[in-house]
Structure 1
Amino acid sequence: MILLVDDNLQNLKVLGNMLQETGYHLLFAKNGIQALEAVKHRKPELILLDIMMPDLDGFEVCRQLKQNVQTHDIPIIFLTARAEQEDIIKGFELGAVDYVTKPFNHKELISRVKTHLELKAAREALALKIEELQQANLTKEKLLSIISHDLVNLFNSLMNFSLLLTEPEELSVEQKNKYLLMISQSSNQGYHLLKNLLDWLRNQTGKIKAIPVTVSLKPLVERNIEFLNSLAKNKNITVSSGVDSEATVWADQNMLDTVIRNLLANAIKFTPNSGKVEITSQQQASMMEISVVDTGIGIKPEDIQQIFQGSHYTTIGTGNEKGTGIGLNLCKEFVEKNGGNISVESGVGKGSRFYVHLPLPTQP
């Protein structure tokens, strides 16, 4: 879409005919005020802008467009009846990319319009590629950080406790049981971390798709509570389920499993010793609400907006548990991939309540 701005109707007609013959879609404005109003409703790919206009000349229109973050990247070609060097320099200083003199030469006009549209498309493609490369670099850095720190620490823990168990004559039964529990906890943490990492990488590369089916919530929740039992037991935390036996949702089962596991693990992580975590369900119109409530330390108001941002936010748990920052980010992305939404209510020292809303199975 190209916006033509000229107070001379004959010029607009000539320009319009030239460009429409080439197949371009056009917008028209008879003065600077109309031009500024037009771009608010529909952003053009290019603007052909007359310099000499009453009330608001082309220079002022260009200045305002370039100062606006929504329109500063639109290429502007000035239309002028004269090729005064001062006018040309002033136009370029204001951000114009080119100028065309009147009377218009058909081939010159079409050539310049085509060139600047192609340059704009090339800049946008380059900017998109740079963004993709930056995201890929962030993903790589995050992956290397997790492998070099979190996974290495987990394997060191497993090897150390396993080594201690190779000398049974020096260990009491109580010590053996303690080390076995620590190995079990480290194994569970390692599995949880690897599962999150693999899901996160697949999601980052677009290789994971939601395949929704009817999922019964109660058995899925109970499996995850059992899986996380050793982590909860280590902090004497009671994890209970109030999920209705008839509760079902329309979602990808693997994604939902990841969401429930991460929400429960997060609640355990930020709940002090002897605390409580409860997961419940409640049908609301066409959605099922799943809530995970804990008696934990809560979240600062200024941190609420950051908790779903993945690699940008991570904190230490009440038992000095470390995290990668991708668990809640996965929850948000997976819930939204399944047509739902996730939110949280919390306050410092008041615990947290996470809400997940997912579609109900379609009735036959």
Structure 2
Amino acid sequence: MPKILVIEDESNIAKNIKQILDLSNFQTIIAKDGKEGLSLVKKENPDLILCDIMMPELDGYQVLTEIRKDDDNGNLPFIFLTAKSNSQDFRKGMNLGADDYLIKPFTSEELLKGITTRLEKQAKINNKNQTLLDKLSFKIQKTLPHELYTPLNGIIVSGTLLHEYADTMKVEEIKEIAKILVESSQRLKTLSEKFLLCTYLELIINNPEKLQTIHEKNYECNTKNILSTIAEKQARKIQRENDLKLELEDININMSESDFVKIVEELVENAFKFSNKGDEVIIRTNINDDNYLNLFIQNQGQGMTLEERENIAAFMQFHKDIYAQNGCGLGLIIVQKIIEIYQGILFIESVPHEQTTIHILLKR
């Protein structure tokens, strides 16, 4: 039985609403003002809120503002009850996060239809979120143990061999095992750093004060130097200098250098990782008509399907069974979060088995 919280200071209206809802198999809770309503939200955990706008102490707008700040109840369906029909009042409520309006006086049919529509919509959202959560849980269970255990096993086995047989080993054999130890440790360290960074960025995104502090800063980040340095280093590392094509303009952007470096490192690494030797990796920058930086990173590689582009999520890595790449696919998620923090935009354009282009817009 859905639970409806009615916040209404006029007792007759509240009583009539309760009678209609009780007869329609809803559990109805009444709050006589905004203050009591906020208290009952935490206590009763309603499925939907009906709230008058004009009330003493806390009006409906203030109630909605407080509810949307609540981590536990911030997504509750919220319907305003109002005698006003002014478009400015509607806009104000919608901007604060209201889901609907009911204009007084309303009929029982209008009331029930408004509630049913919002509950059905919320049910679809909850089902979708649960599906996404189930998928993410599955990916964690499937991917994370492998990503953790593989380098850990390398460390354990190598350490055991050295402990038990070092006295009889040749110097070359000890060096080879030491190399495995270093590589496994570095892989585990990189994975841990990505998890921590992803969590940290998510905390920033959900902290308005931190976001405001970042947005108010004036950064001077030279994109050309960073792009060329990182791309050329990565190309040399895997002996693909001839595959790299740079078409860079001398452009500064309003982003910290460390954050831009992280974006470039992840995207350039992926561009080489998901293409073969001999396939071009093209990096291009220019300024668009709105004075934003256009950054294009293109590889002539495996590409992605539409479904893959739409389902980019943490712990997902495309065609891992074919390309045998390490990592949980967190790199692109980290890039997305950084770009979101700086109010940029990321586009992915791809033709399967031909090419992928990452297109980023960033403020100057």
Which TM-score applies when normalising by structure 1? 0.56
| CA pair 21-328 structure 1, distance change in 2 beyond 3 A | closer
Q: Could you tell me which residue of structure 1 aligns to residue 149 of structure 2?
A: 152
- Is the contact between residue 281 and residue 291 of structure 1 (CA under 8 Å) also seen in structure 2? yes
2:333 is the alignment partner of 1:335: no
Letter in 2 for 1:304: R
Partner deviation per Cα, 1:240-282 (whole Å, 9 max, x = no partner): 2515362322112222111111111222221134433222212
Give the structure 2 partner of residue 62 of structure 1.
Answer: 111
- Is 2:290 the partner of 1:293? no
CA gap of 1:188–1:355, structure 2 versus 1, over 3 A, is: farther
CA deviation string 1:316-361 (max 9, x = no partner): 175311331321111111012112111111011111010111112x
2:20 maps to none
1:185-212 C-alpha deviation (Å, 9 max, x unpaired): 6566555433322211212333876465
Q: Which residue of 1 aligns with 2:56?
A: 22
> Equivalents in 1 of 2:246, 2:342: separation in Å?
23
The letter of the residue matching 1:69 is R
Taking only aligned residues, the RMSD between alpha carbons, in angstroms, comes to 4.9
Q: 1 CA distance for matches of 2:108 and 2:55?
A: 29
Alignment correspondent of 2:326: 322
Q: Secondary structure at the match of 2:220?
A: strand
Aligned to 2:34: none
8 Å CA contact retained: 2:249, 2:286: no
Asked if the contact 1:289/1:357 (under 8 Å) is kept, the reply is yes
For 1:91-240, what aligned pairs fall within 5 Å after superposition? 148-157=145-154, 167-168=169-170, 189-190=187-188, 192-206=190-204, 210=214, 213-225=219-231, 228-229=234-235, 232-233=238-239, 240=244
Pairing of 1:265-304 with structure 2 (within 5 A)? 265-285=269-289, 286-304=291-309
CA separation of 1:291 and 1:193: change in aligned 2, threshold 3 A: farther
Supply the distance in 2 between the matched residues of 1:188 and 1:230 (Cα, whole angstroms): 20
Tell me the equivalent position of 1:118. none
Same amino acid, percent of matched pairs: 13
SS at match of 1:205: helix
- Letter paired with 1:213: Y
Q: Distance in 1 between matches of 2:361 and 2:242?
A: 24
Gaps of 5+ in 2: 1-6, 14-51, 61-80
Tell me how far apart the structure 2 counterparts of residues 19 and 290 of structure 1 sit (CA, whole Å): 47
Letter in 2 for 1:253: E
- Which segments of 5 or more consecutive residues in structure 1 lack a partner in the other structure? 7-17, 51-56, 74-126
* SS across alignment from 1:213: coil
Aligned-pair CA distance for 1:298? 0.4
Q: Which moved more, 1:64-73 or 1:338-347?
A: 64-73
Contact map agreement 2:248 2:283 (CA 8 A) in 1 = no
Alpha-carbon distance in 2 for matches of 1:180, 1:274: 32
**Which has the larger Rg?**
1
The answer (yes or no) to whether the contact 1:212–1:338 under 8 Å persists in 2 is no
Seen in structure 2, the aligned counterparts of structure 1 residues 295 and 192 have a Cα distance that, compared at 3 Å, is farther
TM-score w.r.t. the length of structure 2 is 0.56
SS in 2 for 1:150: helix
* AA in 2 matched with 1:153: T
Give the residue type in structure 2 aligned to 1:152. Y
Residues 293 and 353, structure 1, Cα contact 8 Å, conserved in 2: yes
Q: Which residue of 2 aligns with 1:11?
A: none
Letter in 1 for 2:109: E
CA deviations 1:15-74 (Å, max 9, x no partner) are xxx9967355672279xxx9xxx89x8648997977xxxxxx83322331122127988x
Question: Does the 8 Å contact 1:306/1:313 carry over to 2?
Answer: no
- Rounded to whole Å, the distance in 1 between the matches of 2:280 and 2:121 is 53
1:348 alignment partner in structure 2: 352
Matched-pair contact (CA < 8 Å) for 1:290–1:357: yes
Q: Secondary structure at the match of 2:360?
A: strand
